[in-house]
Structure 1
């Protein structure tokens, strides 16, 4: 049996809450509404891997164009164009997702990841697949990605739109589910909820975070401190029923 290996999330303050980072070869879903910080989270995850750890990454764009992504990254001082020139950061913009080509696009992503030998992948976002496919088919495609992540020991992050991630059937397949929330007022409150993290003892399941000049940073627990435990997805489902 291979020893358990963890990789840094790249998110300041998060790794210490999840036993040092994500398990190598895991599939993580980042969910949330518009403006919650999902793309920033994913960008920070791959940028840290590329720039600090030297792990190459593939960023799959299905919801915006590459120029918009580069502009978003530059706000935090992340020069992904430089990483592209260095051959460690790759952007892939597939054709528009339709029911007939959904499986082919997933295969293209996997084949590209294999040929480029990347260790971190982001699909931003997976929501176009959910819009054109029925739930069982969508879950099947996520399962294919899950099997690939395990076999290749590649970490894969899927961004999904949604205010209630516990209703997403794809969540059952994933190793981890992190939900981001933003309450806009005179003092914006942002919460990061770790709803599932397979094989990991989570110190705190609800964290407060901020988005500053350097990206996302966990700043505190919003007041509920629980005992150190492993998050159970089934437990969370029961809590909302």
Structure 2
């Protein structure tokens, strides 16, 4: 196990309003981390700041990834370095097919042109694993997709791009039981000793098949408690009120 991500005293503002108020977080290769917390606590802000979304301003602290300070790096540079983020509400991209989108992304990230036949074979294999109809490869990205199909498409991208760090922002939100199972199995297949996963969620459904190494409770922009997987059951039982006093 080696350190992959280190967030030090991270303060982040959105439109001059401070959202994160001093986050410290270290993620090593081989680990699964889960961030849970109340609405508006700053969970998505944390993921967006790590990804480099320009709408989120780092006002203090730093982000170190794979031994390099990336606090000032652009989003595309962070993606090339091996950071991937799935979104709560993936947007549609009319005019660009799923196959072309992922193939272009992989070419850009790896710096190697993807051979058409080999890529098609890999894409179909990954879609089959996700019970994702292969005809969707020729459809425009998320155009007319259901919520579950959009989330599967995110996991499909992650599986093929094979990042060092995958951040999943409420990937389980709005999914039925079968879709949650398929998505969690996809994440489980992806995860290994050489990468890491950061899951942001309100629910424990996606965690039934994914056993986190660390669970962090985020309240009002601060991590107030960190524990193992048993912390999820504790949250389910008593909610977040007991942790608000720790802020």
Please report the TM-score for the alignment, with normalisation by the length of structure 2.
0.49
Larger-gyration structure (1/2): 2
